[in-house]
Chains A and B, each alone.
Chain A
Amino acid sequence: MKLLFPLFLVFALAGCSGQSEDASKKPEGPSQIEAVTFGLGSQVAGERLYGRECAFCHVGKNTGTMMLKRRLEQDQPAQLHERKDLSAEYIKAVVRNGMMNMPPITRADLTDEELDALAEWLAKGNP
């Protein structure tokens, strides 16, 4: 499946003409199914948790990515797992407190231990 989000756009954008997007055109970045299934079955707990808790907004053309794209400099990636400037502490603070239109993620959804693993994976290699 390469189309769910682009498909939304197609319907939004192609309304007047009644024409679908050319099937040969591939959308940029991950498809919606790739976003939704990100990290599924990964042996790395942090990646699996990022897939479960974050990817549906922060991978592919989804709402977190779109909102960040408006705020960030053009050379900064909008997908969180491509960022190089996020520390584990910052990630944890945003997850628990939310930011702008992102609601907080509760401890019932994501335990502190799980958040540690997620933040460590997401911040890997970052200063």
Chain B
Amino acid sequence: MSSKPIPASVSEAGFATALRAFRDALGEKAVLDSDEDRSAYIDPYAFGDGLEHESSAILAPAEVAEVQEIIRIANRYGTPLWPVSRGKNLGYGGAAPVQRGDIILDLSRMNRVLDVNEKEANCLIEPGVSFFDLFNHLWERDIPLWMSIPGNSWGSVLGNALDRGIGYTPLGDNCEALCGLEVVLPNGELLRTGMAGVDQGAAWRNYKYGYGPSWDQLFMQSNFGVVTKAGLWLQPEPEMTAATELAFPNFDDAAWAVDILADLRRRDIIQHNIVFGSPVRAASVLSQRAEWYEGEGALPDSAERAIMEKYNLGWWNAKISFFGPEFVVEGSMRLLREAFEKRIGRELEFRTWHKGEPYDQSARGVPTTIGLQSVNWYGGRGGHLSFAPVMPQDGAKVLDYAKRVKAIYREMGQDYYATFTIGRRHINNVSLILYNRDDPVGTKRADALFRRLVQVALKEGYAEYRGHIDYMDLIGDSYGFNANMQRQLNNQVKRAIDPNNIIAPGRNGIGVRT
């Protein structure tokens, strides 16, 4: 495959003219098109070399006005843009565009925390702000506000929220913590949503909806604009936290344990998304597969049991934290004890923290990249792919689905790695598929497994909530009601507001170039 692509919609001469216009507008250093620069944006978890999603150039603006100008130029020359906040959406394609040759619009340099309102527990951020940046901003200034932290904190706070990523503390449905967006529309005009649409914007970060239709969701998992600022709600530091871990020794425990945990979540006794995970989840961070098994096929039961024994794990494991005033936290601890101690036959032990104590023992979220360690499971240059259908909160259905998916993993020779993340009213089953990206047998298996799981889930009425760039079309097809009416509407909107199909063609199956 040629390693110097251009967008499919333009000629070589047209592309060169567009690049000159971008350089005139942004300066030399904000337009990157050397081979070294472009290769730095290839999906680090791609199967093989990842060149099928290689970009032609990267634009790195530092100001909103530059983003507006980029979009005007792109419309003029017909060069599609693939906006990324920081490009660290690992497992979903990283910074790479769906369509080879499209230009990456990297907002990493727009990385200012513009304001933090300590009293009202919110902030205003740009898309290049990482979880580390925001944490350090709060830490350095001793601001008693806590953040929701996802598994990979290298990425953008705003980008993660726009892709509906999650964290594991209160306010962990990250897209729901956004309040008021500033968006450059596909025609280059600037929009502010919700109360940010009032000229003064005095209540920008206080009320999400404004007057009339609320537009924020239009810019999540979509390609209808480029978000350049957002209000974000933060968690006031609680008076107390308590944390414990639950381990359920048997695979079949999923049925009753999920029902209890989901009930506690629905009633807001547990205030955060709960991860209910299998042994390989922990083992892939702490060790490599070869330490357990080097034979053919999937990890056998004996190896899974050895992992559980060595790390003192259950078949399913969940970490539970409580946040709030002391009497509330202690009451919640009591409820959790009543729910589980008799069933698991031992007393729960909590790690507690009170405001003013060192944070060592607290349940505060601190950014981390430790979860990325799991890609080293098979050795080599590792990667992971996630199939994560949304399911109802029904323990029997969870167990039934887990049994079937585990059998498929086993049949295909892939090590079973599952979490059932329990949200406010749903469960998200993350079936993680680990691989060595340079092992063609393993990557072929990963692809086949992903495609098979899409069909298995669909038979139950479940579908993926988010998508890797290789599978955005496939996932879009899952929402098939009334001849894919959701997708039809998405494309109607796309054609109306982005007639040149400039912003991220193909993202989430919208505006696919044929």
Contacts and interface: CB of A to CB of B under 8 A. Distances in A.
Interface of A: 1-5, 7-21, 23, 31-33, 36-37, 40-41, 52, 56-57, 61-63, 66-67, 70, 96-98, 100-101, 103-109, 111
A14 B312 contact: yes
A104 B132 CA distance: 18
Contact of B366 (A15, A32, A104): A32
A14 B282 CA distance: 11
B245 A14 contact: yes
A70 B347 CA distance: 37
8 contacts: A7-B243, A8-B370, A15-B312, A18-B349, A36-B139, A52-B132, A63-B370, A96-B36
B369 A15 contact: no
Contact of B313 (A7, A16, A31, A109): A16
Contacts of A67: 373, 376
Contacts of B285: 8, 12
B494 to A, nearest CB: 27
A23 B357 CA distance: 13
Contacts of A2: 358-360
Interface string B346-377: 11111100000011111010111110110110
B58 A108 contact: yes
Interface stretch (B37-45, B117-125, B183-191): B37-45
A52 B136 CA distance: 10
A3 B364 CA distance: 10
Given A10-B245, A40-B139, A3 B361 contact: yes
A3 B360 contact: yes
B376 A109 contact: no
B311 interface: yes
Nearest to B360: A2
A100 B243 CA distance: 35
Given A12-B311, A20-B351, A56-B367, A106 B58 contact: yes
Contacts, number: 164
A18 B348 contact: yes
Q: Chain A contact residues: over half helix, strand or loop, or mixed? A: loop
Contacts of B314: 15-16
A15 to B, nearest CB: 4
Given A2-B358, A40-B136, A40-B140, A105 B373 contact: no
B52 interface: no
Contacts of B376: 67, 70, 101
B244 interface: yes
A33 B139 contact: yes
Given A15-B314, A67-B373, A8 B36 contact: no
B66 to A, nearest CB: 13
Max count, chain B CB within 10 A of own CB: residue among A37, A63, A108, A111: A108
A107 B32 contact: yes
Contact of A56 (B40, B286, B368): B368
Interface string B152-177: 01100000000000000000000000
Contacts of A37: 136, 139-140
B300 to A, nearest CB: 20
A12 B308 CA distance: 10
B474 interface: no
Contacts of B312: 13-17
A71 B184 CA distance: 46
Nearest to A2: B360
A56 B36 contact: no
Nearest to A39: B136
B247 A17 contact: yes
A126 B202 CA distance: 54
A19 B349 contact: yes
A113 to B, nearest CB: 10
